[in-house]
Amino acid sequence: MDLNHRPLACEASALTTELTAPNYLYSILSNPRCKGQDALYGKRHHCYHIGDITQGVKLSIAKQLYILQGIDLDLETKGERLRIVEAQLSDSRVLLKIRAEVEKKQQQLAELQREQRAAEWEIDDIQARITQTEEKLYGGSLRNPKDLLNLEKEIKGYRGQLRNKEDALLEIMSQVEAIQQEIAEKSERARQLEEEWHRKQQQLIGEQAELNAGLAIGKRQRDELAATIDPASLQLYEALRVRKQGQAVAKVAQGRCQGCHLTLTVDELQQARMEELVQCSNCDRILCQI
């Protein structure tokens, strides 16, 4: 990759990770081969090839640890994002919910349709009874006025039952129509959600692959860089990293520690400028003069 054309924000971020060109990662030091400029901040950026560090270019321990911290923070960020992505990949609760709602409505519809058929059968039965009774009433076979009056009363009772059953049937049919509409709307919503879910899954699968690739690159480069740092300094860094929520190394700017933002002593500033391994007397972080 051409060092002269790298999109970096070096001074602002102090560390840039570029997965597409994994060897060109860390932007903290002046490198005569790099003539790039930060387009966002208008500042010259200072690039450093990780291979330069592992192949003998001398950096102070503080700067090596500062670079290592950048890698570790980037790995943590990617790792956390990967956990979120993988959780989203296995999360189909939205789909399951809408499918359950459709299934519930379909069960309700099936029950109403059973009630509708039963009501229709009852109506058919009452109508048959009315027909049979009317045939007796008007068939001329009965002459007794009392028998004829009883048949009229019977027919009247059947007609009352028929009206009630027909009203009940109309109510059931209205409910069936309403729930069919709900099912159609929820089914369409489920279809849309499923399409959206599948699109999102493809995006997440792509992001997962990128994150895994980035993590593999970062872990390899961390191992390479850690191998160049003496064990005692590395142990100090690791201990501070635990205590300081990942921020074991702090930049020095305008005479202040950028970890605790307090003014450093003259001795601390002098040691930092001489690239000695020195810690802030206030927050205990390792000081790095960039």
pLDDT in tens, 214-255: 999 999 999 999 999 999 999 999 999 999 999 999 999 999
What is the pLDDT of the chain when averaged over all its residues? 83
Question: What does each C-alpha distance from 156 to 129, 141, 149, 161 come to in angstroms?
Answer: 11, 20, 11, 9
- 258, 281 Cβ separation under 8 angstroms: no
pTM (two decimals): 0.65
**Buried (b) or exposed (e) across 254-266, using 16+ Cβ within 10 A?**
eebbbbbeeebee
Summarize pLDDT for 133-166 with one digit per residue, the tens.
Answer: 998 888 888 888 888 899 899 999 999 999 999 9
Distance CA 206, CA 210 (A): 6
Any idea what DSSP says for residue 185?
A: H
Q: What pLDDT sits at residue 164? A: 96
Summarize pLDDT for 97-135 with one digit per residue, the tens.
Answer: 999 999 999 999 999 999 999 999 999 999 999 999 998
Q: What pLDDT sits at residue 40? A: 28
What residues are paired with 279 via a beta bridge? 286
Q: 3-class DSSP state for residue 67?
A: helix
Distance CA 76, CA 242 (A): 13
| E strands, 188-285, in order | 249-253, 256-257
- 72, 246 Cβ separation under 8 angstroms: yes
Tokens 């201990």 -> residue: 239
Summarize pLDDT for 22-48 with one digit per residue, the tens.
Answer: 333 344 333 434 443 332 223 333 444
Confidence of residue 50 (pLDDT cuts 50, 70, 90): low
Q: What pLDDT sits at residue 14? A: 36
Summarize pLDDT for 192-210 with one digit per residue, the tens.
Answer: 999 999 999 999 999 999 9
Q: What is the CATH number of domain 92-223?
A: 1.10.287.1700
Asked whether residue 55 carries a pLDDT value surpassing 60, the answer given is no
Tokens 């999109």 -> residue: 7
Domain boundaries, the chain: 1-58, 92-223
| E strands, the chain, in order | 249-253, 256-257, 286-289
